[in-house]
Chains A and B, each alone.
Chain A
Amino acid sequence: MENGGQSIIRLVQVAAVQHRLEGITEMLRVVSEQMGSWGTLLWLTAPGSNIQAGTGRLFVAAYWLPSDIRVWHELNFDSMVGAVLRSGEAAAIGCDDPRVAAPAPRFMRQSEARYICLAPMKMPDDAPGVLEVYRREDRPFSQADLDYLNQVSAVFPSLLGNLTDRVGFKMVDDVTEIINRSDQHQVGRLETFRKVANRVNATFSCLEVSIFLENPAEAEGVFRLAAFQRVWESPWTERAEYKRGEGATGYVCAGVDWVRIVDLAHYQEDQAWIQEKYPGLKWEDSLHIRDRARDYFKLDDPEACPPLSWMCAPIRTNRTTWGAIRCAGSTRDPFYFDVWQAKFLDGVAVRLGACWENYLGNLNKEQELHAWWALTRGFQAMNRSVQRRLNNKTWDETEFFREAMRLAHQVIPNTDNSDVRLVDGSELYTAAVYGRDWDQHPKSQKARYPLKPYGSTSSYLVAEKKGVLIYDDVKNAPHYKPNFEETRKIIEAPIEDGDNITGVLCIRSNSPRPFPENVKLIAGLLGQQLGLYHSLASQIRGLQDLERKNREMIETQGKTIGDVHHQVKSPIISSYRTAQNLIACGSFSGAQRQELERLRGLCSKVARVVRNMGVFSDLSAQRPIRLQRTLLLQHKLLQMLRESCADHEALTDPQRNIHFRLDEKGFDDVAGKERAGKVLVEADWALLEQCINNIMDNAAKYSYDGTVVRVWGGIQARGTELFMAVANEGLEVKPDEAPLLKQRGYRGRDAISATGEGSGIGLWIVDEIMQAHGGRLAITPTQNGITEVRLVFPITKGVEKLSDAQDLASRR
């Protein structure tokens, strides 16, 4: 063999170039080669072992052999390894030495070794261990071999620790890099965790690596599978989530320290130290890891069990444990996870914790943004709904409140039920409720709360004019009156109408999680929005009430006007006829006759105004104009026109010197007693008279002093129309004003100045009457100072088209 110094140097050199944990086997190979041996095993004491008492066991942490023999056997402390540990002295013996267990262990038989050399050592974590070197050839180990092995055992733990650190730090650095990329949004979050699991697995070569994380916004206290890497290929059918404290993984999620179980195959017999170190831990083998390991190593013996080392570290930040990363079983030599590996896994977990917390923070911001977006959209939808209701003239405030509460539950997480309470005198009454919890409490849906003394927190809010109140613990809410036992948190937002609080929006949560930071603002906005709509609803109800009363009043007015029309019509016509008869008898002096003519004119004016009222009443009530058609006879028409001209002239201030001139020639073709070849026109006689008087009245009012109002008629439109025209010289009617004059209530500014009376309905009524006749009112804008207004009637073609009854009446 080489001298000790050179051998150690080679071991150090080999150890220094190792970059994987498997490098330990290379180091053991060097030891074997340096000692001219067949193979080398590294024995460690299992946790909980007592060397002096001889309890516990020894297991092979790593080995190098020039064959594919798996060295998974274990020893008790009666073995030679145990003896070396107890004595603390290296030893070299033959395999036939009585201190070697008899019969010799299976591995010893398989190895065909003749000599063994052993040296005790202390691992980096102070765990006692033994290096055991096997030699097949018939050459006992020398003192130099013993000295060499002693030297190796002195440096081996440091070399191994150095290797573990190198590999471990590299792994942590790589994980940090993966996470950094993720934080820069270069890698998706799930992809990040998958990469981390892969990276950890690349270092520890596990049967299974998995990461479990809690998202409190989704499920508080539930840690769900986020990523995994494992040697068996199949969909994940194993347990995919743990509650805090459930199983060994849940145990880690509930704490802040990592857990390492050296060999799950001895889980039951190791309970004493496991419970001492990890009180309450209960491993459930939810992965069926024993079966998986047997399958992986292709072991047929159902009793056989390969080493099943297990470690799990909490994914945490300073404040919170967010989950766990676990490693189960190793697929290669070394088959056991040591303390340092567990510590590096813990380092990975800490970085994952920061990453997850950062992600949740961003998620919260995104959720907050989403909440604002949803709130905005919700308000828009509510506004549209209100608009539709306004258009449809339907208003269901309860339905609207429910819509607002639905929006509140959508944008504020973890809310369970809510209600709207409105002020009614000295009480608050429940106007609307939302949430399934109410189904079980029908009486509460109608609850009333006195404002003073405070009957509820809502009463306190209204009476004291408070803003939004938020209580993460209802016990702190003043004058709280529970509707549901499960309620843990409550939001109370005032429903405001200007400076007045008209109600309260109450939102409840059964969740222990605190409300998000933006909840106060959101609840306040919802309350204000509800206040606006409630105010709007109140005003609309008021307007609808007014509208109804107004409609009733208009109907009453219409009836009254109609009634006045009927009552006055007969006496005023009688008065008119009386005046007419007196004038006709011709026995009065000139002055008296003038007075009589004025009286007749006044009667005519009153009759016209009263008839206007009647037509106005009908039109306002949307009743069609009812025509009593008769055939216009020439002599009657001319008589009516003459009297109208006389009446209006009589009523005009003589000082204004306005005269009416009727040109009768144009009416020659209108049917009289002789109808053959004459123009036949049917019209309602009274309404025709009304039209004539209305347009003559306008002519009288708006003519300049000293002018003549011309009245004439005739046939136009190639014999299809009869017209009656009134033309005057007076206030100008501009082209754009002509159509306006037919509108109800329109009066030109000059017209208003020229006459204090009138309401702008005269020409509107004439237009309606003419349309009812199938004719029209034609207003020609002022040309050369003259304004012309025509009543145009359609001419009936042929006698046979006349109504018989009316025709007969006209004959009479």
Chain B
Amino acid sequence: MLKILLVEDDHLQCAYVRQALTSTLGADVTTKTCESEFRLDFESITAAPPDIAVLDIMLRWASPSRDAKPAPADSTPYHAGLRCAQMLSEDPRTQNVKIILYSVLPKEDFAPALLPKNAVYVVKEPDCQNLIDAVNDLQLAGAAG
């Protein structure tokens, strides 16, 4: 079964995308709702790496919480998804995970140097069809490789 990690901080969007990927592709979708959760659960992610990670680029660090860890000093929400992608790429256990960057912003809004070279960029659309196509393309490419 196709395993997808979805990192998305908008719960409505998250539920919608998850539902779309599950119903259309029959994928097993795991979700993370903020950067700190992704980092906190990173070891468990590496233990059972997904096939594909769909990462929203702009992510909050954490929901307000009395015991939340403060965000790293030099981090902002604007590139949180890119940091998550970097962690996946740099860890040998997850370096084969295919990455889809999923954002409402067009790709041109980001400096090329910021975007990981092996990632696929998909702009959020109302019906998720372009995301589904991108997942299928990656699967086909993986099968061919």
Contacts and interface: CB of A to CB of B under 8 A. Distances in A.
A651 B12 contact: yes
Contacts of A757: 58
A756 B11 contact: no
21 contacts: A602-B12, A651-B12, A653-B11, A653-B63, A656-B63, A701-B64, A703-B64, A704-B64, A705-B63, A705-B65, A731-B64, A753-B61, A753-B62, A754-B62, A754-B63, A755-B60, A755-B77, A756-B9, A756-B78, A756-B80, A757-B58
Interface in B1-18: 9, 11-12
Nearest to A785: B66
B11 A753 contact: no
Contacts of A653: 11, 33, 63
B109 to A, nearest CB: 15
A701 B63 CA distance: 8
Interface in A735-766: 749-750, 752-757
Interface string A638-659: 0000000000000101111000
Interface in B48-99: 58-66, 68, 70-71, 76-78, 80
Contacts of B62: 753-754
A750 to B, nearest CB: 8
Contacts of B59: 756
A341 B37 CA distance: 115
Contact of A754 (B11, B64, B78): B64
Given A702-B64, A705-B63, A754-B62, 18 more contacts: A598-B12, A651-B12, A653-B11, A655-B11, A704-B65, A704-B66, A731-B64, A752-B77, A753-B60, A753-B61, A753-B62, A753-B71, A754-B60, A755-B60, A756-B58, A756-B60, A756-B77, A756-B78
Given A653-B11, A655-B11, A753 B65 contact: no
A749 to B, nearest CB: 8
Q: Which 3 A-B pairs have the closest CB atoms?
A: A756-B77, A653-B11, A753-B61
Contacts of B76: 752
Interface residues of A, number: 22
Contacts of A39: none
Interface string B15-48: 0000000000000000001000000000000000
Most B CB atoms within 10 A — which of A653, A655, A702, A749? A653
A730 interface: yes
Nearest to A701: B64
B77 A730 contact: no
Contacts of A598: 12
A388 to B, nearest CB: 42
Contacts of B11: 653-655
A730 B64 contact: yes
Interface string A678-711: 0000000000000000000000011111000000
A568 to B, nearest CB: 16
Interface string A442-484: 0000000000000000000000000000000000000000000
Contacts of B66: 704
Nearest to A756: B77
Contacts of A730: 64
B10 to A, nearest CB: 9
B78 A753 contact: no
A168 B2 CA distance: 126
Contacts of B9: 756
A701 B62 CA distance: 11
Interface string A150-190: 00000000000000000000000000000000000000000
Nearest to B33: A653
A119 to B, nearest CB: 120
A734 to B, nearest CB: 15
A753 B77 contact: yes
Nearest to A601: B12
B120 to A, nearest CB: 21
A753 to B, nearest CB: 4
Contacts of B12: 598, 602, 651
Contacts of A654: 11
B20 to A, nearest CB: 16
Most B CB atoms within 10 A — which of A651, A654, A731, A752? A752
Contacts of A754: 60-64
Most B CB atoms within 10 A — which of A602, A656, A702, A754? A754
Interface string A588-624: 0000000000100010000000000000000000000
Contacts of B64: 701-705, 730-731, 750, 754
Interface in A505-528: none
Nearest to B14: A653
B58 A753 contact: no
Contacts of A731: 64
Contacts of B63: 653, 656, 705, 754
A526 B76 CA distance: 49
A580 to B, nearest CB: 19
A730 B68 CA distance: 12
A602 B11 CA distance: 13
A748 to B, nearest CB: 11
A598 B61 CA distance: 24
A753 B33 CA distance: 13
Interface string A761-783: 00000000000000000000000
A598 B13 CA distance: 12
Contacts of B33: 653
Nearest to A704: B64
Contacts of B80: 756
A749 B77 CA distance: 11
A753 B69 CA distance: 10
Interface in A182-201: none
Nearest to A755: B60
A75 to B, nearest CB: 117
A749 B78 CA distance: 13
Contacts of B58: 756-757
Contacts of A656: 63
A702 B62 CA distance: 11
Nearest to B57: A756
Nearest to B65: A704
A579 to B, nearest CB: 14
A536 to B, nearest CB: 32
Contacts of B71: 749, 752-753
A753 B9 CA distance: 12
Contacts of B61: 753-754
B122 to A, nearest CB: 18
Contacts of A753: 60-62, 68, 70-71, 77
A653 B13 CA distance: 11
Most A CB atoms within 10 A — which of B61, B64, B66? B64
Contacts of A651: 12
A705 B34 CA distance: 14
Nearest to B12: A598
Contacts of B70: 750, 753
